[in-house]
Amino acid sequence: RIKAFVFDLDGVITDSAELHYQAWSRIASEQGIPFDRDYNELLKGISRMESLEKILERKPDACFTASDKEALAARKNDYYKELIGTIGPQALLAGIETLLKDIVGAGIGIALASASRNAPTIIERLGIGHFFQVIVDPADIPHGKPYPDIYLRAASELRVSPKECVGVEDAEAGVQAIKRAGMFAIGIGSSEVLHEADYIVPDSSFLQLQDILDRIDN
């Protein structure tokens, strides 16, 4: 029996993936580094520093010291915080609020497993904090997605077994993390990118609790 849902944030609950893209675009163009939406796909689900490293890889001749990198990552976060300062409940993706309500109504637990250190601020701005029993602090998790650690921590904080959990992700690294944790994986987005997921939907409006539970061998 399914006892909990564990959600990713960016690209699943709200389109902050787009805001990350805009903030990184500013940094890349300031540095004269090519950057586009295809390349941005590689940054989804991975940490701020890992994202920066991936962007700087595209300027192999340049030399960035550790403190240059700290400064770039901090500036990106300032740009990002400016963008998230404008969001409110209208930024919830289609179908998510109904899904959260249905899950709670069915007596099933909910946790957040986001790599974003800004996640608590975003959840509060969206007005959905009351649905979550657990928000995992990514600062506590040394190995990010695609390692399963953040999903395993969510299950243990909820006091359920990973086998009793459904994970929901929009990124390849995230789906891999869910599968390695031993959970049922829902992928939102392209089936090419998310082929390891157990159930793939094109966007969040397709998510229906009963439909999801029916697909899992209970």
According to the binding rule CB under 5 A, does residue 171 interact with Mg ion? yes
**Between 143 and 159, CB nearer to Mg ion:** 143
DSSP secondary structure string for all residues of 15-49: -HHHHHHHHHHHHHHHTT----HHHHHTTTTS-HH
**Which residue do the tokens 């300032």 mark?**
78
Residue ranges in 179-218 that form contacts with ligand B16 under rule CB under 6 A:
none
In the shown chain, the binding pattern of residues 66 to 105 toward ligand B16, with x for contact by CB under 6 A and - for none, equals: -----------x----------------------------
In the DSSP assignment, the letter for residue 217 is -
- Tell which one of 13, 170, 177, 184 touches Mg ion (CB under 5 A): 170
- Tell which one of 47, 55, 110, 188 touches ligand B16 (CB under 6 A): 47
- Tell which one of 14, 45, 92, 201 touches ligand B16 (CB under 6 A): 45
Residue ranges in 114-143 that form contacts with Mg ion under rule CB under 5 A:
none
According to the binding rule CB under 5 A, does residue 93 interact with Mg ion? no
Residue ranges in 105-124 that form contacts with ligand B16 under rule CB under 6 A:
114-118
According to the binding rule CB under 5 A, does residue 8 interact with Mg ion? yes
In the DSSP assignment, the letter for residue 93 is P
Residue 121 CB, shortest distance to ligand B16, in Å, is: 9
**Which residue do the tokens 């787009």 mark?**
18
Rg over CA atoms, the chain: 17
DSSP secondary structure string for all residues of 165-192: EEEEESSHHHHHHHHHHT-EEEEES-TT
Residue 131 CB, shortest distance to Mg ion, in Å, is: 18
36 flagged as catalytic:
no
Which are the contacts of 193, defined by CB distance < 8 A and separation ≥ 6? Answer: 41, 171, 172, 187
Q: Which of 59, 72, 147, 161 is nearest to 109 (CA)?
A: 161
Binding site for ligand B16 (CB under 6 A): 8-11, 17, 20, 43-48, 51, 77, 114-118, 171
Active site residues: 8, 10
